[in-house]
């Protein structure tokens, strides 16, 4: 059976691949033995999310790095997904509702995040994530400000995923300019796929030669 078509697959920077897919479509792909064995401890809803996102990840790996596409995916001590035996290949996985996103980056740390915008966002949440920039977004119509906050949050999440700190890295404290499509945060570059994806989707990545076996 041919794999489903991805909604989006893009080399966002040299050697940094990002793909967006739909959970229901990728659920029909035969799981890798490692993934199938890992689902026994997961609730049903989490199993679907888990299998679909990893099916999309392996699809991207088969296209851009076929030599590592069969490696087991495990989590490191910080919860970051890694390819067993290939520490120099950065991978990242995100899901929200029916949306799935993955990133693959040889010799880089990488993070990806996808978000379905909520119907509404509170002023308090805007201030938490945007601080001094909150009034700019608060002035937008309700749906537009929810969408813009989702775009900003995908950048913030992608950055801490690339760093490997997750929520302990306080993503809401990262200063991201609303409507920006790319930028830097410390040693990381980030890109929002605003012109390519109708769903807020961003990735962040380190320079080459800074991860695992590439060092």
Task: Give the pLDDT confidence of 174-194 residue by residue, as tens digits.
Answer: 999 999 999 999 999 999 999
Q: How many residues appear in the chain?
A: 215
pLDDT score recorded for residue 38: 75
pLDDT score recorded for residue 37: 75
User: Could you state, in order of their start, the residue ranges of all structural domains in the chain?
Assistant: 8-118+141-214
Average pLDDT across the chain, whole number: 91
Angstrom CA distances, 157 to 38, 52, 141, 142, stand at 25, 21, 24, 22
Tokens of 117: 């915008």
Mean pLDDT of 58-84: 92
Tell me the pLDDT tens digit for each residue of 109-163. Answer: 999 999 999 999 999 999 999 999 999 999 999 999 999 999 999 999 999 999 9
SS3 of 158, please?
helix
pLDDT score recorded for residue 210: 58
What's the CATH superfamily of 8-118+141-214? Answer: 4'-phosphopantetheinyl transferase domain (3.90.470.20)
pLDDT score recorded for residue 209: 63
Tell me the pLDDT tens digit for each residue of 104-122. Answer: 999 999 999 999 999 999 9
pLDDT score recorded for residue 151: 98
pLDDT score recorded for residue 40: 67
Question: What single DSSP character describes residue 7?
Answer: S
Least confident window among 40-54, 86-100, 187-201: 40-54
pLDDT score recorded for residue 176: 97
Residue 212 pLDDT greater than 60, yes or no: no
Residue 214 pLDDT greater than 80, yes or no: no
pLDDT score recorded for residue 211: 59
- HEC assignment per residue over 15-72: CEEEEEEEHHHHCCCCCCHHHHHHHHHCCHHHHHHHHHHHHHHHHHHHHHCHHHCCCC
Tell me the pLDDT tens digit for each residue of 24-42. Answer: 999 888 888 888 777 767 7
Number of Cα atoms under 13 Å in the Cβ half of residue 162: 34
């Amino acid at each position: 059976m041919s794999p489903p078509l991805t909604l989006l697959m893009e080399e966002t920077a040299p050697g940094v691949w990002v793909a967006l897919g739909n959970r229901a479509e990728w659920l029909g792909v035969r799981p890798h033995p490692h993934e199938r064995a890992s689902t026994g401890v997961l609730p049903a809803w989490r199993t679907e999310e888990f299998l679909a996102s990893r099916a999309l990840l392996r699809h991207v790996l088969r296209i851009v790095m076929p030599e590592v596409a069969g490696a087991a995916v495990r989590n490191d001590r910080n919860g970051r997904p890694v390819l067993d035996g290939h520490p120099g290949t950065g991978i990242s996985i995100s899901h929200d509702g029916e949306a799935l996103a993955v990133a693959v980056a040889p010799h880089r740390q990488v993070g990806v995040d996808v978000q379905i915008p909520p119907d509404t966002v509170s002023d308090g949440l805007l201030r938490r994530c945007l601080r001094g920039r909150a009034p700019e977004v608060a002035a937008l119509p309700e749906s537009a400000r929810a969408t813009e906050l989702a775009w900003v949050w995908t950048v913030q999440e992608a950055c801490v995923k690339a760093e490997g700190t997750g929520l302990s890295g306080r993503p809401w404290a990262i200063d991201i300019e609303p409507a920006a499509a790319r930028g830097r945060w410390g040693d990381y570059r980030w890109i929002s796929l605003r012109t390519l994806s109708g769903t807020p989707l961003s990735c962040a990545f380190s320079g080459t030669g800074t991860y695992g076996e590439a060092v």
